[in-house]
Amino acid sequence: MRILNREELLQARNFKVARITLQNDEGREFAREVIEHPGAACVVPLLDNDTVLMVEQWRIGARKPLLEIPAGTLDEGEDPMACAARELEEETGYRAGKLEHMFTMFPSPGILDEKMFIFMARDLTPGKTHFDDDEQIGNRPMSFRDLRIQLKANNIKDGKTIAALGYLMVFKPFLGETRA
């Protein structure tokens, strides 16, 4: 697959929409629209080995509040780990003593080029929140047991949160309980 052309259709505050003209291996040309996003850092804050500090905030895409892990858009040229540390403090008021990169994902690659960097934060110390003007966020500490129950009941709808919690439950079995 080869990119032949890019036409910008929209420039918004945090993203662009572009039409990309492609050529496949057989020489056929076609166009696809893509939302171009600078990327995001997401963080699972562990208050202890059994408690995750979740946040609840209203999300425009869902048109309602969602229970999720703290996350935010990368500033231009910003290191994802620095963004994760910044977003953790802005949204929860906590600072991380340790940040560990767990995995990187594309949340919806059929329409969006956003890359999400998922981190785990430990050794948290309380600080002060610094919400953006359009943010209204509440902290919700939850045990792994309660998170498993909420996941099983399909009450957590945010994709990055489902992926991050699932990753922890599979690959970090020393955290929380082993069964719900």
Give the pLDDT of the chain (180 residues) as one tens digit per residue.
999 999 999 999 999 999 999 999 999 999 999 999 999 999 999 999 899 999 999 999 999 999 999 999 999 999 999 999 999 999 999 999 999 999 999 999 999 999 999 999 999 999 877 766 666 788 999 999 999 999 999 999 999 999 999 999 888 766 665 444
Same domain, 25 and 114: no
Cα–Cα distance, 165 to 172 (Å, whole number): 10
pLDDT at 178: 45
pLDDT at 11: 96
Query: Does some domain include residue 159?
Result: yes
> What CA dihedral angle connects 54, 158, 108 and 115, to 10 degrees?
-10
Q: Quick check: 104 and 116 in contact, CB under 8 A?
A: yes
Query: Does some domain include residue 45?
Result: yes
SS3 169: helix
pLDDT at 179: 45
Which of 105, 83, 85 lies closest to 95 in space, CA to CA?
85
CA 82 to chain centre: 14
Query: Does some domain include residue 180?
Result: no
Domain range for 89: 40-171
Q: Quick check: 27 and 55 in contact, CB under 8 A?
A: no
Beta strands in the chain (DSSP E): 2-11, 16-23, 29-36, 40-48, 51-59, 64-68, 71-73, 94-105, 116-126, 137-143
How many domains are there within the chain?
2
Query: Does some domain include residue 156?
Result: yes
Rg (CA), the chain: 18
Same domain, 80 and 142: yes
Same domain, 32 and 72: no
pLDDT at 180: 43
Query: Does some domain include residue 179?
Result: no
Query: Does some domain include residue 53?
Result: yes
